[in-house]
Chains A and B, each alone.
Chain A
Amino acid sequence: MKSSLTRFLAAAAVLPAVAAIASCGSDGASADGGDAEIVIARGAGVNGAAIETLVGEFEEETGVEVDTVELSDTDYGPKMRLIQQTGRSDFDLAIAIPGDIFPLTDTDGVYAPLDTAGFDPEGLAALEEAGLVEDNHLGNQDITPLTVYSNEFADNPPKTWADFFDLEKYPGYRGLQSGGFGVPINIEIALLADGVAPADLYPLDLDRAFAKLDTIKDDITLWDAAPKSLQDVLDGNTTMTFTYSPAALGAVKDGADVGVTLFEDAPIVRGYAALLEKGPNGPEAGQQFLDWWSKPEVQAKYAELTNFGIVLPSTAVYERLDRKDLAYAPFVEGQEQGSLLDYEYYTETNDAGVSNLDEVLNRWNEWRAS
């Protein structure tokens, strides 16, 4: 009686094993790149893919061999923290590391000093003018929380964060991010909606933020990864959500039937590029890539590929780009500028002995649990 099933299960077990053995040989060989001259850690997603493309061009132009390691939103923080603890790193350069992680892991011996001597002069001038050059890191890209809304509001699209909280004018559920660095953004959005000026955001008035969030608590749904936020609008679960620019713009590009808008004063997520002090090939290896990276034409290409990340807000880059593609970029001359999340503030320890980031996460959890 069991024989038939037994045989079936055996077949189910054997098939993959055969596939495994067949693939093992080719696999072992390519497992470790090993002899790359630079190992670059990059983000996942749209900007990661853009960097991957550019790395290919870099290899072609310079003949230098590069390996890339992909870091996702979930693992880059712990990886940077472990590098900080052990002093060992698998890569020489981290590019497009979100700004949240940088100050959290920026202690002596992790990130190497930056040498701008080899930078493209035009690019360096633009970078310095934009205030993106620091001792041990380079401002690298910016993602804005855009607002995506159902097209039933197309006649009278939402214009401010206050509209986001207005359930009468714009009925339906609202999407916010469930955890991670979306939480500080949720808080800042609530404060901005309640009329706090961007310049007065810090220190955050958490009581005020949660009072504002309470006004729509029953109508908030949460998402974890940005694609889900978009799917919720498309499926009609929410009528308005904050989501990150890659997801929103990707959908627009694909002709999704939703509205997208960049609210004034949207809190902006800043990214960084930094050299690792103790990477496998030393900081000089990564420096070589950054020198190339500073060229305005490379920056323009990056902005084009990502469709959102204006790395270098300067005419040197703009004149190489089609301006109509930049409608949702956070920093474009002539466009209202948003406010940067203040990572230094979130990293600071408050009176209670915990970081402001911990405090915000704690209050958010408390709010969700109550």
Chain B
Amino acid sequence: MTVLAPPARQEGRVRRARRVPSLASPALLALPAVAFVVVFAVFPLADFAWRSIRVDGSFTLAHYRQIVESSYFGDVLVRTVLTSMGVTACCVVLGYPLAVLLHRARGRTKILLAALVVLPYLTSVLVRVFAWSALLGLRGPVNRALVALGVFDEPQQLGHSLTGAVIGLVHVLMPIAVLTMWATMSRIAPGHEVTAGALGASPVRVFTSVYWPLSRQGVVAGALLVYVLALGAYVIPVALGATNGLLFAQVVADQATVALNWPLAGAMTVAMLLAGLAPLVVVRLARWVLRWRRDPYPARQRIASRLVLPALELVPAPVWRVLARVLAVLVLAFLVIPELVVVVFSVGPTNQLSLPPDSLTLDGYRAFFADPLWTTPMSRSFAFAAADGVLALVLGGLAAYGLVRAGGRVLTFGLGLLVFPLALPEIVPALSFYVFANRFGLSGTPSGVVIGQAVTAISLAVVIIAAVVRNIDLDLEHASRMSGASRLQTLRRVVVPLALPGLLVGGLYAFLNAFDNLVLPLFVAGLNTTVPVRMFSQMQDTLSSTIAVVASLLIALLLVATAVAVAVMSRAPARIDLADVASRK
């Protein structure tokens, strides 16, 4: 099977030619997920936004006028969009080498690396804020190092600065970027690189002509996810940001929860969505203009092949490899160090979240296991998140496959619809879902929590899985169908195995996202308190190390799972590469 041509373009041509129709209408597969998100997120949100123009039975644009006339709201929107773009750039650029390292690693190393990348995601932002605060504080290790190195003359307030907010956000969102990119890379068969090299391409060229085009979908998907999630982030920028660094989420949260001016909060959300969309529209327009010029060999490519490539090739390939590896390791350290701080917190005094702890004790753990107010929510959170993970895996997997195979506008529109709830500051979807759940008697019930949490879980899963499905060669499915396999058989025997990394990462993230959801259960859970809600109320008044204990227990759980996987793997016979299996079909 020949697969060396850039697959993105080839796939596009195949799709347009419609040589063999794969499914009557693949978009139908997306219906369950779309229906779910429309009913439980889009409708409540639209209802919420509707009330920003219809107040007390009459139409008004007063709230929008208030926004337009506001002397600061525009600044806040611009700052929020720019910060999100910066965070996205950091996550994608710094995360790419780590994704490559993850892709290239084998066996136990790979398992360990994956575990380390996922690790930060297990830690609630509520405790991460304290870890970063301890690291970035005036007397913290980062400041001390920077002063010793002569970067600063005196310690800087890093833990209350734009830098602090960006660092915190990058730490939260980097795992999503890395795993999304990795999931796509996992479809790059090693044979491609070997062949390209054998045909005389330099390592730099192998990267730019083979590796990069094949991983681009993952970069785009990762960037999109990070960008939308950064737009709505609340806890991190509020805790680590600067006095003069006001971001959107705080403004809307104050309107929604303090001033209780819901119409204004709705209007602000609409404005935010438009502002957040602007950069995406600009990119889209730029691409459209480029395509419209129909330049078969655009200037960008001319510059790349005549100037950039030769310049890059001046540096010997091993140097590139070492540089990438060093960067990847540094990023990994960046991800893991705050987690170590959290573990240190957990064995410190129960009323302290400082470095270094005054004394070491296991009191925090003892208190946790003795208290049903912690253990009950813990098992409940697992149950809710597992249900959400399964829901997201099934609905999200079907939707991702259906949308990608439908392609074109259906893909753009469907993906946009499923993803936009992620871009809103959590408080807005949570509040609108709460109003909705209250109306239909879902509020305070376990199913209310599961359904509410499933919305973001499904959105995340769809983006991650779709990035992988996009890289699955349609020819493989055609081949399978022509060899007499039914559609279902094709899905089961060809598509699912090929998309497996994406399915697993998507499902895992959906589970973790639901497990970590704070704001939605805060409103909807009622008596069914979950762990994040419990953490939040615990941290309302006084310092307590219990949140660090919870985080450390989850870290321990992940490490145990890793150890089990390593043990199982070293006993099982080596298995054949999935891509090989696929290409042999």
B-contacting 9-mer, from A15-23, A153-161, A292-300: A15-23
B537 engages A72 (CB within 8 Å): yes
Contacts of A67 in B (CB 8 A): 527
B259 engages A4 (CB within 8 Å): no
Supposing A250-B351, A358-B259, A361-B259 touch, asked if A44 and B540 sit within 8 A by C-beta, the answer is: yes
How many residues on chain B are close to A (CB under 8 Å)? 114
A234 engages B354 (CB within 8 Å): yes
Supposing A5-B114, A180-B254 touch, asked if A217 and B526 sit within 8 A by C-beta, the answer is: no
Supposing A13-B389, A179-B254, A236-B137 touch, asked if A230 and B543 sit within 8 A by C-beta, the answer is: yes
Contact of A7 with B by CB under 8 A: yes
Supposing A32-B445, A70-B529 touch, asked if A9 and B244 sit within 8 A by C-beta, the answer is: no
Supposing A12-B558, A222-B243 touch, asked if A44 and B500 sit within 8 A by C-beta, the answer is: no
B138 engages A227 (CB within 8 Å): no
CB neighbors of B among A30-44 (8 A): 30-33, 44
Supposing A13-B511, A179-B253 touch, asked if A23 and B134 sit within 8 A by C-beta, the answer is: no
A4 engages B382 (CB within 8 Å): no
A228 engages B537 (CB within 8 Å): no
B72 engages A365 (CB within 8 Å): yes
A235 engages B133 (CB within 8 Å): yes
B505 engages A226 (CB within 8 Å): no
Contacts of B244 in A (CB 8 A): 217, 368-370
Supposing A250-B543, A366-B71 touch, asked if A237 and B159 sit within 8 A by C-beta, the answer is: yes
Contact of A264 with B by CB under 8 A: no
CB distance from A279 to the nearest CB of B (A): 13
**CA–CA, A294 to B254, complex, Å?**
34
Contacts of B66 in A (CB 8 A): 354
B382 engages A250 (CB within 8 Å): no
Contacts of A82 in B (CB 8 A): 434-435, 438
Q: Look across to chain A and name the residue whose beta carbon is closest to the beta carbon of B444.
A: A90
Q: Of B70, B137, B157, B386, which contacts A362 at CB under 8 A?
A: B70
Q: Look across to chain B and name the residue whose beta carbon is closest to the beta carbon of A22.
A: B379
Q: Of B239, B254, B380, which contacts A228 at CB under 8 A?
A: B239
CB neighbors of B among A275-314 (8 A): none
CB distance from B570 to the nearest CB of A (A): 9
CB distance from B145 to the nearest CB of A (A): 16
Q: Look across to chain B and name the residue whose beta carbon is closest to the beta carbon of A358.
A: B259
Q: Of A11, A45, A77, A183, which contacts B541 at CB under 8 A?
A: A45
Q: Look across to chain A and name the residue whose beta carbon is closest to the beta carbon of B376.
A: A30
Q: Of B243, B257, B540, which contacts A77 at CB under 8 A?
A: B257
Contacts of A254 in B (CB 8 A): 349, 351
Size band of the interface chain A makes with B: 35 or more
The residue in A1, A6, A67 that gathers the most chain B C-beta atoms within 10 A of its C-beta is A1
Contact of B313 with A by CB under 8 A: no
**CA–CA, A45 to B543, complex, Å?**
10
A-B contact count (CB 8 A): 290
B386 engages A46 (CB within 8 Å): no
CB distance from A10 to the nearest CB of B (A): 7
**CA–CA, A100 to B258, complex, Å?**
8
Contacts of A118 in B (CB 8 A): none
Contacts of A222 in B (CB 8 A): 160, 238, 241, 243
**CA–CA, A2 to B500, complex, Å?**
9
B246 engages A368 (CB within 8 Å): yes
A237 engages B133 (CB within 8 Å): yes
**CA–CA, A18 to B314, complex, Å?**
54
CB neighbors of A among B397-443 (8 A): 427, 431, 434-435, 438-439, 443
A27 engages B446 (CB within 8 Å): yes
A7 engages B569 (CB within 8 Å): yes
CB distance from B276 to the nearest CB of A (A): 18
Q: Of B130, B157, B262, B383, which contacts A27 at CB under 8 A?
A: B383
Contacts of B250 in A (CB 8 A): 178-179
CB distance from A156 to the nearest CB of B (A): 22
B115 engages A8 (CB within 8 Å): yes
**CA–CA, A227 to B352, complex, Å?**
10
Supposing A28-B446, A45-B537, A365-B251 touch, asked if A10 and B238 sit within 8 A by C-beta, the answer is: no
Contact of B390 with A by CB under 8 A: yes
Contact of B552 with A by CB under 8 A: no
CB neighbors of A among B94-143 (8 A): 106-108, 110-111, 114-115, 118, 129-130, 133-134, 137-140
B379 engages A225 (CB within 8 Å): no
**CA–CA, A19 to B431, complex, Å?**
30
CB neighbors of B among A54-85 (8 A): 67, 69-70, 72-75, 77-79, 81-82
Contact of A341 with B by CB under 8 A: no
B139 engages A235 (CB within 8 Å): yes
Contacts of A224 in B (CB 8 A): 235, 238-239
B382 engages A23 (CB within 8 Å): yes
**CA–CA, A362 to B541, complex, Å?**
26
Q: A16-B389, A45-B537 are in contact. List 9 more A-B contacts (CB 8 A).
A: A12-B118, A12-B558, A20-B379, A32-B527, A72-B540, A234-B352, A235-B139, A247-B542, A355-B259
Interface residues of A, Cβ cutoff 8 Å to B: 1-13, 15-17, 19-24, 26-28, 30-33, 44-48, 67, 69-70, 72-75, 77-79, 81-82, 86, 88, 90, 100-101, 104-105, 173, 178-181, 183, 217, 220-228, 230-232, 234-237, 244, 246-247, 250-251, 254, 256, 354-355, 357-358, 361-362, 365-366, 368-370
Ordered by A's residue number, 7 sampled pairs between the chains whose C-beta atoms are within 8 Å are A3-B578, A7-B572, A20-B382, A32-B445, A33-B527, A69-B526, A235-B139
Interface residues of B, Cβ cutoff 8 Å to A: 66, 70-72, 75-76, 79, 106-108, 110-111, 114-115, 118, 129-130, 133-134, 137-140, 157, 159-160, 186, 190, 235, 238-239, 241, 243-246, 250-251, 253-262, 349, 351-354, 376, 379-380, 382-383, 385-387, 389-390, 427, 431, 434-435, 438-439, 443-446, 500-501, 504-505, 507-508, 511, 515, 519, 522-523, 526-529, 533, 536-544, 557-558, 561-562, 564-566, 568-569, 572, 574-579
